[in-house]
Amino acid sequence: MSKAGAVSSLTLVRQLWEYAGLPTRVLENTIRQGGLELVHDPSVYGQAVRSSFQITAVAQACTATIALAAQYYKRLIQARTKLGGEEEDVVLGPVSVDARHAVAEWKGWTRIYLDRGATGVGVGEMIRDSIASDSDEAKQVLGMDAHAVADWDSLAGLYRTRPAEAREVAGIVRIHTNFPHHKLGILQLLGLVPNSKHWTDQDIHEVFAQFQHSHLQERLDGWDAFEFERRAHERGLCVTAYRTLSEWEQSPMGEAVRRWIGENGGSPFRMSRLTASTSHTPRAHTATERLRVIDMSRVIAGPYSTRTLAAHGAEVMLISSAALPNLPLRELDTARGKRTAYAHLERGEKLPRKMRRLVEGADVVSQAYRPGGLVERGLGPGEVQALRPGVVYAELCAFGFTGPWAATRAYDSLTQTACGMNHLEGRSYCEHTGQHEVEPKALPVQALDYAAGSLLCLATLAAKCRGILEQMPATSGGEGDQQKGWHVQVSLASTAEWIKSLGQVHGEAAWETPPHHVLPVDADQLAAMASSYRVRGLKSHAQDYERQDVFVLAIRHAAVSAPDSGAEDEDDLRWSVPAHLGVDTLRWN
C-alpha cells in the first residue's frame, strides 16, 4: 500500500523523460521488459530521509532517468554507426537504483584512507581505518590550506534581524560565508572590518578569527531583513531574507521564475536551439560514445552534473583559475572522475589558443557562473556555438535567467530560505511536534544543488540524444541540421519550484518513520554504497614522486556498480580524484 502523500519515483521518471523530450515508447518498452528497477520506491517503502518534501523520490527518479538517458545516447551512437538508423524496439537497462543509496549520495560524505601496504583490504575496513576529511591530519596529507572550509564556515547561517511588522514570520536572514571574499564583504558591510582589507591579505585569517556569530548578531539586531538583503546584493554578497511561500510568490523574483517555468510547459529546465554560425569553417567532429565535457563550475550543483556525466563514462575537464578561491574539501567529492587544469581568461580578450582548441573538441560546455559572466570572457553560448557548431551549452544559476535576481549570487541554502522552503519545512515539523513558533528548517541534504545538477545532466544527455535522432531517417527523415547546437538552462529556484509542486508528506511519514540519519548507521550498508578513489597528482613531501597511497572514500554514484579489480585502464580515471585543481594539462586525451 502506498504511503499517504508519497510520490512514486516511477511517476517522476516518466515526468522527467517527457520534459526531456525523449521518445515515450523507449521508456515504456524498458519498463515493460523489466529494464528499470527502483529499489525502495518511497511510494511503497516510505521516505529514506526525514523531510516533508519528496526528496527521496526526486533523488531516485533523477538518478534513474539520467542512467537511462546515458544508455540511450550510447545506443543511438551504436545504431547510427552500425545500422544507419534507430533500432525499432529499443529496450534499455538493466538500470537499478536504490532510493536509500541515491539520497545518501546527496550527503556529499567523504573520508580519507591512507594505504599502509596491507593486501585485500575491503571498503569496510578502509572506512574503519579512515580519518575525517577536514581533520588537520588529512589536510596535511593532502597539502591543503589549514583554513580550508568543510561544509559550513563558522559565520554562515541564520541571524535574527529587527522585528518585522505585519509579517507572518520573524525577521531573519541567512548568510553564506564559505568563500573568503564573501565572508570579508559581510564583515565590512556590518562595519566590523575596514574596507581597506582584501581577502588575499596574508593576515586575513587572523582577522576572521576575531569574530564569532555573536558579533554579527549584535550588528544585525538593528537591521531590517529585506534592507540587509538588498545592501548585500548590491555588493555581490550572498544573503537572503527568510520568506514565507506567499511572500516569495508575490515577489518579482518568484513571479519571474514561475513565468519562466510556465513558458517551458511546467519543466524546471529549458532546452532551446543554438543557430549554426557561418563565420568560419569549424573543425570536423564525429560524435562518439565517450562525451568530452568542459566543466566550468564550482561548489555543488554544476560540479555534480559533470561528475555524474563522468560516472557514466564522459571525459570531463574541470577548468578553474589559480586566482579564484576554491573549496578543496568539497572538491574531494565533486571532482571525482575528472581531469582538471587552470586557464586564465581575461574580460574582453580573445580566448587563449589552448582554450580555443579545447572548446573546438568538446561535445558539452557546462558552466555555473552568474548569467553573463563567461560572455565577458568569450565563452557565452553564442561564442561557443561559433567555435564548436552542434555543441550542448549547459548553464546553471541560482535564481533563474530572468527577473531582478537573474545576476544574483546564491547557493542552495540561500535559495531554500528565500523561496519559502525553509518556512514550509519548519511549519510541517512544528505542526507535528506541537511547537508554538515556526522556526526556519533546512532540508536534511542540499537537495536543490543535487537535484538541479541532476536536471542539468539529464537535459544535457537528452540534447545529445535528440540531436542524433534528428539525423536518423527513421525518426525525422534525416533532415536535422548537425550544425545547430543546444542551450540547456536550469536554476536552483526553478528546481525548488518543481520540488514544491510535488507536494509534501506530513506527520509520522515525514518526521518519525524515515531513518534519523541520511547515511546508513550500519557499517556494512555504508560500505556497500561507498567506493575508494585514488588521489592522483599528490606529490610527496620531497616532491620527487607522486604518492599512490592516499584514497578518498565516498558514496558511489547510485546508478553505477562498484569497479571490478580488473577494470580497464581507460576507466581508471573514474575511480580517482585530483589532489587539487590544476593538476592536468589543458588538452583532451
| Choice between 109 and 345, residue whose per-residue pLDDT is larger | 109
Q: pLDDT per residue over 427-475, tens digit each?
A: 999 999 998 889 999 999 999 999 999 999 999 999 999 999 988 765 5
Q: Give the model's pLDDT for residue 3.
A: 43
| pLDDT at 42 > cutoff 60 | yes
Dihedral over Cα of 578, 582, 584, 589: its sign: positive
| pLDDT at 68 > cutoff 80 | yes
Read off the C-alpha cell for 413: 541554502
Q: Give the model's pLDDT for residue 569.
A: 43
Q: Give the model's pLDDT for residue 548.
A: 85
Diameter over CA atoms, the chain:
70
Please give the Cα distance from 463 to 335 (Å, whole number): 23
Mean pLDDT, residues 555-559 taken together: 96
Dihedral over Cα of 555, 560, 564, 566: its sign: negative
Read off the C-alpha cell for 253: 523574483
| pLDDT at 325 > cutoff 90 | no
- Which run of H or of E encompasses 381? helix 381-387
Question: With bands split at pLDDT 50, 70 and 90, how would you rate the model's confidence at 421?
Answer: very high
Please give the Cα distance from 173 to 160 (Å, whole number): 7
Q: Give the model's pLDDT for residue 61.
A: 98
| pLDDT at 570 > cutoff 70 | no
Please give the Cα distance from 561 to 538 (Å, whole number): 27
| pLDDT at 412 > cutoff 60 | yes
Strand ranges, E, within 297-423: 315-320, 339-342, 364-367, 392-397
Q: pLDDT per residue over 211-233, tens digit each?
A: 999 999 999 999 999 999 999 99
| pLDDT at 344 > cutoff 90 | no
Spatial CA neighbour of 343 closest among 331, 334, 355: 355
Q: Supply φ then ψ for residue 562, to 5 degrees.
A: -65, 145
User: Between vectors from CA 543 to CA 541 and to CA 544, what angle results, nearest 5°?
Assistant: 125
Question: With bands split at pLDDT 50, 70 and 90, how would you rate the model's confidence at 2?
Answer: very low
In eight-state DSSP terms, residue 315 is E
Q: pLDDT per residue over 269-315, tens digit each?
A: 999 999 866 555 555 556 677 999 999 998 999 999 999 999 999 99
Share of the chain above pLDDT 70, in %: 92
Read off the C-alpha cell for 17: 523523460
Read off the C-alpha cell for 239: 544573503
| pLDDT at 147 > cutoff 50 | yes
Read off the C-alpha cell for 547: 604518492
The answer to whether 90 and 72 have CB atoms below 8 angstroms apart is yes
The answer to whether 253 and 229 have CB atoms below 8 angstroms apart is no
Sheet holding 576-578, edge to edge: 131-132, 110-114, 550-555, 530-536, 576-578
Mean pLDDT, residues 202-211 taken together: 94
Q: Which long-range contacts (CB under 8 A, 24 or more apart) does 120-129 make?
A: 122/527, 123/527, 123/530, 123/531, 123/532, 123/553, 123/562, 124/523, 124/524, 124/527, 126/532, 126/551, 126/553, 127/523, 127/526, 127/527, 127/530, 127/553, 128/523
| pLDDT at 15 > cutoff 90 | yes
> Other C-beta atoms within 10 Å of 534: how many?
17
Question: With bands split at pLDDT 50, 70 and 90, how would you rate the model's confidence at 149?
Answer: confident
In eight-state DSSP terms, residue 534 is E
Share of the chain above pLDDT 90, in %: 75
Q: pLDDT per residue over 471-516, tens digit each?
A: 876 555 555 567 889 999 999 999 999 999 999 999 999 999 999 9
Q: Give the model's pLDDT for residue 357.
A: 93
| Choice between 480 and 585, residue whose per-residue pLDDT is larger | 585
Q: Among 229-243, 244-258, 526-540, whose mean pLDDT is lowest?
A: 526-540
Spatial CA neighbour of 484 closest among 504, 501, 468, 495: 468
Read off the C-alpha cell for 587: 588538452
Q: For the chain, what's the residue count?
A: 589
The 10 Å CB-count burial string (b at 16+, else e) for 306-328 is: bbbbbbbbbbbbbbbeeeeebbb
Q: Give the model's pLDDT for residue 567.
A: 41
Q: Give the model's pLDDT for residue 540.
A: 76
Please give the Cα distance from 245 to 157 (Å, whole number): 20
Q: Give the model's pLDDT for residue 566.
A: 41
The mean predicted confidence, pLDDT, of the chain is 90
- Domains of the chain and any CATH numbers: 9-105 (no CATH), 110-147+520-578 (no CATH), 268-401+446-501 (3.40.50.10540)
In eight-state DSSP terms, residue 577 is E
| Choice between 379 and 160, residue whose per-residue pLDDT is larger | 160
| pLDDT at 550 > cutoff 50 | yes
